[in-house]
Chains A and B, each alone.
Chain A
């Protein structure tokens, strides 16, 4: 034996390696990539855990690239999405959820500031089929982006003079500054999308005519027609409809004046409008909504559908919200409204099992007002799509991909479906429709949308995490808010990276080394390269005895013991 032991030398391999203790095993550990709750909740389909992991690795650009492989508009969604991801975040059960939307916004802003090119964009190939996208809202832009990345030549046909849909025409600047919006949209278009403005379907062209040039069509036309509103047949003569007022405000800062305003409805339009009215000097702004406010007594599907932060800010600014109520009578003086009679109600399961609105007798009360503004939602404008509506209000799609009955090459996504309602949902629809169009045109199967199994809070080993408060977010105080100053401030740089480190990495490897450190049998092997499952760890089944320590001690629930095959 000539081997010399020095601090840099290794001894000869141990002969016990000839004894394969793996044969003792009855259970074996396997890596199991589960669906983190944030991912499961994101309407855009983002895997936040995946991009947070890149930030944790200090690779901010790779984080953005991972993100925009799914959602091309993080600077926008980071500002306007109601972030159901944060409501679902497992970390919320330990202290506070990860500030996902703030970090998403940071990545988007970094990409704009540094002009990072979108990843995986092929050069335009003039032999590939052309696809028409109608409507340049978030749904249409997302479909066009994903189709371009799949190698199709895409033209967007948009009725208005600018791209952006409601992002541009309705969402107030205090929430979505226009320089950010314009920068992100123009960067998306620059991947090679042909945008043709002032092209209204039904007026300037028909769907049938597109067939000559385009192999498939995506409809991202949103909902442009206000629902009819009246109370027992009565309509005030000077009726202003909410979305119309908002669009006027966003376009040229005009807003009718009134001392006391009642807004009827729920959702972002209603809350945005209330806040602007209040800021423009209305003494009393009252929102009457059939939905409930977030709280223990309100079922999740009954909560006022608005970005949570916006609700808080509206209350902070003095908007009065009357939940679980509706207007049952207008008190008119001539053709002018001077008050409304409200009644309490709740959505309760009726005989059919479906929820019905039940008004409670004896709860009627009167509110004096100078103006009533309905914000009860919009439906699809039938112009150009009447055949596809089948007499309904929406373009009802068969599945998440946006397939329409009887029209194999026409797809729909976003608000026009009638079952969406957020920017991120429209973006998610655009991505799935692009996949479906690709599968239709290349005659390949649709992607499998079966989710990975979820990972609940109880599936984590919390011993390995420390409590740490969520990053504070700067905010303009109510008295300093203006018409266009963005209210929520940025989380950036070191603070953002530290916030990303709060992520548990639910259901995916955190590369924490626990399994490698704690295996009594040295049967977890760490690799420099990524293993096939994306982690850096392999089980050496020649020696693993199946004790289960690694599975118990994996902080993120990434290891599961299964019966030995």
Chain B
């Protein structure tokens, strides 16, 4: 009987606050594509109707992860764009159970969920997810603890290289020289003064079974890495480079192109660690100059001011950082490889050529 009372109470509150319950009845205006929608030959974890910006890399990354990992998963999500745009009350774009608590505790909540499921004898996998702010910075302690306590959780960081949801503040992940609202380019500085934190190495130092970087430009590779991480019993970590058209200042139509360039120039290396060791990298067939990547984004616009001598210096600095990555991880491929940056995205009739 309490059930009916609760429902009444909820209804009253909704009326009071002008929010009516979503209508899931058959009478609700169906989308003309609902029929084919329900018969899609892939699982859908993140539905349409979410409120991400046009061309959002994070939305794409989350869609790819949830559809690869689902349906037998539960999500714990940190505060941030992904949480805000997928779950504006009273709607949810998720088709899998989803918990949001705080900005800083996604990994802690996930640890608890995993422990509870284990106690109940369930095999459902828990995925924690957050932005770079929530991962590199504020949620880092919770994440480190989760890894150290060896919870069977996959943590996914959608790395758009700043605190986007609150208006593009610099984070530990923001690359050197990128302009944000709290690291603005101007008289004093050429964008962010500091370097991008090498989080992946820090995670790897936890001696976890699997930690890797990925990019939305290579969905086949994202899926493979998610499957790999899901198969592992124990803590695993994935950072997915996810362009943000608003924060990076580019046309949403170029999200994939830009993400691809980040990998091809060496600034965002694709690396897989197991137990702290590099076990695999995605070779770059034909490294591109960093300027090709930088010049299409407004966050680096100040690096192309011919009158400012610092511009050239910073461009060279970023090129040196890319070269450093290429040398460090031995990213320069030899010859043509189906698993390199050019081979991996090859398609043919019927889909991607790579089936892994």
Contacts and interface: CB of A to CB of B under 8 A. Distances in A.
Partners in one complex: yes
- The binding surface of chain B is classed by DSSP as loop
Q: Which of A56, A467, A528, A545 has the most CB of B within 10 A?
A: A545
A193 B72 CA distance: 64
B48 A57 contact: no
Contact of A10 (B43, B124, B260): B43
A465 B49 contact: no
Interface of A: 5-7, 9-21, 24, 53, 56-57, 463-467, 501, 505, 510-514, 517-523, 525-528, 538, 540, 542-543, 545-549, 551-553, 555, 561
Contact of B71 (A7, A18, A505): A7
25 contacts: A5-B97, A11-B96, A12-B95, A13-B38, A16-B49, A17-B47, A17-B48, A19-B51, A21-B49, A56-B348, A466-B342, A517-B64, A518-B219, A518-B256, A520-B56, A520-B60, A522-B46, A522-B47, A522-B48, A543-B31, A547-B55, A547-B252, A549-B60, A549-B255, A553-B256
B349 A548 contact: no
Contacts of A501: 348-349
A543 B92 contact: no
A16 B352 contact: no
Contacts of A20: 49
A14 B349 contact: no
A538 B36 contact: yes
Interface string B279-294: 0000000000000000
Interface string B91-135: 111111100000000000000000000000000100000000000
B224 to A, nearest CB: 14
Given A5-B72, A17-B31, A24-B54, A464 B345 contact: yes
Which 3 pairs show the lowest CB-CB distances between chains A and B?
A548-B253, A16-B49, A14-B47
A5 B117 CA distance: 13
B24 A546 contact: no
Given A511-B350, A525-B37, A463 B260 contact: yes
Contacts of A512: 347-352
Given A464-B345, A520-B55, 4 more contacts: A466-B336, A512-B352, A522-B47, A552-B253
Given A513-B352, A518-B60, A520-B63, A16 B47 contact: yes
Contact of A542 (B33, B97, B255): B33
B72 A15 contact: no
B49 A14 contact: yes
B257 interface: yes
Q: Which of A11, A16, A528 has the most CB of B within 10 A?
A: A16
B324 to A, nearest CB: 25
B351 A57 contact: no
Interface string B1-43: 0000000000000000000001110001001110011111101
Contact of A510 (B251, B256, B349): B349
B349 A16 contact: no
Nearest to B48: A543
Given A510-B348, A555-B347, A19 B91 contact: yes
A540 B252 CA distance: 18
Nearest to B216: A518
A206 B124 CA distance: 87
A538 B33 contact: yes
A513 B347 CA distance: 9
A3 to B, nearest CB: 10
Contacts of A10: 43-44, 71, 95
Nearest to B122: A5
Contact of B255 (A13, A466, A547): A547
A433 to B, nearest CB: 35
Q: Which of A10, A510, A517, A523 has the most CB of B within 10 A?
A: A517
B201 interface: no
Contacts of A16: 47-50, 86, 91-93
B276 interface: no
A463 to B, nearest CB: 6
A549 B95 contact: no
Contacts of A525: 33, 36-37, 40
Interface in B294-312: none
B234 interface: no
B350 A521 contact: no
Given A14-B95, A18-B23, A511-B349, A5 B59 contact: no
Contacts of A514: 347
A465 B345 CA distance: 8
B186 interface: no
Nearest to B264: A463
A464 B260 CA distance: 12
A19 B49 contact: yes
A15 B95 contact: no
Contact of B253 (A464, A538, A543, A549): A549
Nearest to B55: A547
B52 interface: yes
B71 A466 contact: no
Given A7-B71, A466-B342, A15 B51 contact: no
Contacts of B94: 11, 14
A98 to B, nearest CB: 14
A15 B90 contact: yes
Contact of B252 (A465, A526, A548): A548
Contacts of A519: 60
B254 A552 contact: yes
B343 interface: yes
Nearest to B96: A11
B121 to A, nearest CB: 14
Contact of A522 (B23, B44, B336, B349): B44
B346 interface: yes
Contacts of B90: 15
A517 B344 CA distance: 14
Contacts of A13: 24, 38, 47, 95
Contacts of A555: 347
A464 B343 CA distance: 8
A138 to B, nearest CB: 32
Contacts of B54: 24, 545-548
A513 B36 contact: no
B72 A6 contact: yes
B72 A551 contact: no
Contacts of B251: 548
Nearest to B341: A463
B51 A21 contact: yes
B239 to A, nearest CB: 18
B124 A5 contact: yes
Q: Which of A6, A466, A528, A551 has the most CB of B within 10 A?
A: A466
Contact of A15 (B57, B92, B350): B92
B24 to A, nearest CB: 7
A12 B93 CA distance: 11
Contacts of B96: 5, 11
Contacts of A24: 54
B33 A540 contact: yes
Nearest to B257: A552
Q: Which of B64, B94, B351 has the most CB of A within 10 A?
A: B351
Nearest to A52: B349
A513 B28 contact: no
Nearest to A20: B49
B92 to A, nearest CB: 6
A548 to B, nearest CB: 3
Contacts of B60: 518-520, 549
A18 B51 contact: no
Contacts of A19: 49, 51, 88, 91
Nearest to A56: B349
Nearest to A461: B257
A5 B71 contact: yes
A400 B52 CA distance: 53
